[in-house]
Amino acid sequence: MAEPMIEIEVVYAAVERQRLLNLTVPVGTTVRAAVLASGIGGEFPELDLAGCPVGIFGKQVAEPETRVLQAGDRIEIYRPLLADPKEIRRQRAAKAAEAKRLSQT
Tally: H helices and E strands in the chain: 3, 5
Instruction: Find out whether 35 and 54 touch, Cβ atoms under 8 Å.
Output: yes
Which residue in 59, 49, 57 sits closest to 80, CA to CA? 49
DSSP assigned state of 93: H
Architecture of domain 5-103: Roll (3.10)
Strands 18-26 and 5-13: antiparallel
Q: Over the stretch 16-72, which tens digit does the pLDDT of each residue have? A: 899 999 999 999 999 999 999 999 999 999 889 999 999 999 999 999 999 999 999
pTM: 0.75
Domain ranges of the chain: 5-103
Instruction: Find out whether 52 and 75 touch, Cβ atoms under 8 Å.
Output: no
